[in-house]
Amino acid sequence: MTKGLIIVISAPSGAGKTTIYRELLSRMPGAVFSVSVTTRKSRKGEVDGRDYFFISEKKFRRMVSGGQLAEWARVHGHYYGTPKKQLRDAVSSGRDIVLDIDVQGGRKIRKQYLSGVFIFILPPSLKALEHRLRNRGQDDEQTIRVRLENARKEISYITDYDYLVINDKLNEAVEQARSIITAEHARISRLKNEISGFKKAQAGNA
């Protein structure tokens, strides 16, 4: 059985990361989403255990000190973290797992999981980003300004990532992300077992 891939997706807020990973997961049967823990309040329509595990700061601190998080960070004023167990379970059962985390988290995961796949998503322009944030209708003016300001900083982390997907036409962006994942599965360096199986069979036939 091949191991599942750890796929990290990061993007400035409003670039379309949530839209893309949801669509991506619907086209990747068997793949799972890494449900983060967060101390922020749930938004309308979000489901505890599906979108996030919404927990108190006290519980968050306990998870950090208990070594239960693969990474954690403070983002836009709240704490977020990736539970280690979900990553372990997915990889060992051969399932791909998609992490929607910020650039600080991406950098920490990269140090621990060298075989991870790191994808950065950008909108076609900063104007388009602003437009999407406003159209989403989820944030007030001050929050939008903070997110746009943060976007400029986040973009400077692009070189930590392996791939860049520009989310202009949604379907094309999702297909591009899926192609990246398909190609990563075909990497020779990930297929040591399969290759040694071929070599043995070849030796047996010789």
**Chain residues in the site for ligand ADP (CB under 6 A):** 11, 13-19, 132, 135-136, 167, 169-170
CB within 8 Å of 41: residues ≥ 6 apart: 54
What is the smallest separation between the CB atom of 10 and ligand 5GP, expressed in angstroms? 6
Q: Residue 157 burial (CB < 10 Å; 0-12/13-18/19+)? A: middle
Alpha-carbon Rg for the chain in angstroms:
19
Q: Which is nearer to ligand ADP, 51 or 160 (CB)?
A: 51
Query: Which of 50, 14, 47 lies closest to 34, judged by CA?
Result: 50
Q: Which is nearer to ligand 5GP, 86 or 191 (CB)?
A: 86
Distance CA 47, CA 132 (A): 23
What is the smallest separation between the CB atom of 2 and ligand ADP, expressed in angstroms? 29
Closest residue to ligand 5GP: CB criterion: 105
State the residue for tokens 């983002």.
75
Q: Which of the listed partners (ligand 5GP, ligand ADP, none) does 39 bind, with a CB threshold of 5 to 8 Å by partner kind?
A: none
What is the smallest separation between the CB atom of 160 and ligand 5GP, expressed in angstroms? 13
Q: Which of the listed partners (ligand ADP, ligand 5GP, none) does 96 bind, with a CB threshold of 5 to 8 Å by partner kind?
A: none
Residues that bind ligand 5GP (CB under 6 A): 13, 36, 40, 71, 73, 75-76, 80-82, 100-102, 104-105
Torsion of CA 77, 78, 79, 83, to 10 degrees: -130
Q: Which of the listed partners (ligand ADP, ligand 5GP, none) does 15 bind, with a CB threshold of 5 to 8 Å by partner kind?
A: ligand ADP
CB within 8 Å of 189: residues ≥ 6 apart: 115
